[in-house]
Chains A and B, each alone.
Chain A
């Protein structure tokens, strides 16, 4: 499955919202469910589903869908290069 779609699924399931509310342009401020606790739950799921790991100080900076997508892609490229 395409990475962007898979990430949309994780957002949708974590926050219990429909996929229409999520797009490449979605930022943390746009979704009520995406508060600080929501952020932690989201990152926990992302780490499990995509098998990546975020450093503790990275997590707060991931405040948009696009940033997270880019970050996962980078991490996965690094893995395949290794």
Chain B
């Protein structure tokens, strides 16, 4: 259960019921206007609650201080509690001011927010929640309510709290690595207007003006999404040739055939195609989002594959692009940072599919030899903390203990003499895969304990895990470690690692624990 604390200089109590619906959260609400004392006082309720995340939502007019008052409180708490992540709303001034066009208050608001963003840029554990964007989207009048402010210092309306809770849900999907990996798209009346099989590639609605422009803008947004690391796939009931003609001949197409990792263009049931896609990518059906304008197709897929997200396509096509951002991208594809692995994701999966093709042809041992695998095992620095943390959050199968860490926790352990973290990057004849594994070792005198050992499922079946472990044990021996202990914590997804340590040569103890002497 992720622990979330909510601090404010206004009464945020109505948010509680909305947040209770997000069932991975355990909640603490600070008393009215207690945010400073809760952060500074070592014996506060906040300190005893020991949250993983602290949400600070301050009203600008009530906040009659300098940004450094806020920053100092955050830094004071962070020093005493490493690994906590702060989600801080940016400041919005009331649109009702006697100052009218003097603009002094808006300058103050810009300055506060400027300092807040600068602070967030320098500290990985600070996440700025762009509340101004929500006000822009819904309107101050909708999200704020004077009546309840005067009665009980409750600043937001019921709608305001609902919108805020929704945004926090999306933020947590992003921070906890629950975002999706694949976007599966229909074609007719989804990526262009009209049915290509009926009207031909020349007459689909896709153009610089009018309705065709809606679809063109949609394709642009999808391409941008792909460039943040999301894989694209086509699932369409069509003749493949008709579709290929569009990609080859229609100059208005913004997306290219190669932008899609998989193409299932046939007359089979869509849920069969989608299941096949999941298997060839080795990704769970729960990491996929399916978009289709046809209600019947959507229903069929939802019923056959309950784990997949099927977004409700808009009836009014002019709202397509707005809907895509608010109802698909923010909830399922939220991103905080881009890594090199993200940017090259489509290419990496192309390589997976290529490798699978070659594998079918060669004998297994020959196959491994032919791959010319090169592993680089290293101790991470600030460039790689984020990627290592991302791996701990997203890896479910080859993960011995499934412990999730934030990048600030990885940093803290890296800098601690009691821990050793090892990253592993992979290269073979098809190309570089980047950082695909990590191990977190806890050191106590001359015994080491493997807290985490995990590998991306992309490199399974090539004995990489044994080579990685062998190298780690060599490193530990250099550090005068004599005994290495490890454990296996079973989950529904990591059964394949059950015998990993015993296969390597560790002795088996009770309760899924293992040990080996390295001297």
Chain B stretch 137-157: residues in CB contact (< 8 A) with chain A: 145, 147-148, 150-152, 154, 157
The range of chain B's interface size is 10 to 19
CA–CA, A56 and B158, complex, Å = 16
Of the listed stretches A19-27, A37-45, A62-70, name the one at the interface; the rest are far from the partner chain: A37-45
Proximity string of chain B (1-35) to chain A, C-beta cutoff 8 Å, 1 when within and 0 when not: 00000000001011001000000000000000000
Q: Given A44-B157, A44-B158, are A37 and B11 also a contact pair (CB < 8 Å)? A: yes
Does A40 lie within 8 Å of B158, measured CB to CB?
no
Interchain pairs with CB closer than 8 A, number: 30
Proximity string of chain A (44-60) to chain B, C-beta cutoff 8 Å, 1 when within and 0 when not: 11011000000010010
Does B17 lie within 8 Å of A40, measured CB to CB?
no
CA–CA, A14 and B145, complex, Å = 19
B153 to chain A minimum Cβ distance, whole angstroms, is 10
User: Is B133 an interface position by the 8 A CB rule?
Assistant: no
User: Is A80 an interface position by the 8 A CB rule?
Assistant: no
Does B14 lie within 8 Å of A44, measured CB to CB?
yes
Residues of A within 8 A of B14 (CB): 40-41, 44
CB-nearest residue of chain B to A15 = B17
CA–CA, A47 and B157, complex, Å = 10
Chain A stretch 1-40: residues in CB contact (< 8 A) with chain B: 13-14, 16, 36-37, 40
CA–CA, A41 and B359, complex, Å = 62
> Interface of chain A, helix or strand or loop or mixed?
helix
Residues of B within 8 A of A14 (CB): 17
The range of chain A's interface size is 10 to 19
CB-nearest residue of chain A to B11 = A37
Residues of B within 8 A of A37 (CB): 11, 13, 152
Among B17, B150, B157, max chain A CB count under 10 A is at: B17
Does B151 lie within 8 Å of A40, measured CB to CB?
yes
CA–CA, A45 and B159, complex, Å = 10
CA–CA, A47 and B152, complex, Å = 16
Residues of B within 8 A of A36 (CB): 152
B157 to chain A minimum Cβ distance, whole angstroms, is 7
Residues of A within 8 A of B158 (CB): 44-45, 47-48
Residues of A within 8 A of B159 (CB): 48
Does A59 lie within 8 Å of B151, measured CB to CB?
yes
Among A36, A40, A45, A59, max chain B CB count under 10 A is at: A40
A44 to chain B minimum Cβ distance, whole angstroms, is 5
CB-nearest residue of chain A to B16 = A41
B222 to chain A minimum Cβ distance, whole angstroms, is 35
CA–CA, A48 and B159, complex, Å = 8
CA–CA, A41 and B20, complex, Å = 15
Residues of A within 8 A of B148 (CB): 40, 44
Instruction: From A16, A40, A48, give the contact of B154 (CB < 8 A).
Output: A40
Residues of B within 8 A of A41 (CB): 13-14, 17
Chain B stretch 117-144: residues in CB contact (< 8 A) with chain A: none
Residues of A within 8 A of B157 (CB): 44
**A-B pairs, 6 with minimum CB distance:** A48-B158, A40-B152, A44-B158, A41-B14, A56-B147, A40-B148
Mark A residues whose CB is within 8 Å of B.
Answer: 13-14, 16, 36-37, 40-41, 44-45, 47-48, 56, 59
Q: Could you give 23 example pairs across A and B, Cβ below 8 Å?
A: A13-B17, A14-B17, A16-B17, A37-B11, A37-B13, A37-B152, A40-B148, A40-B151, A40-B152, A40-B154, A41-B13, A41-B14, A41-B17, A44-B14, A44-B157, A44-B158, A45-B158, A47-B158, A48-B158, A48-B159, A56-B150, A59-B147, A59-B151
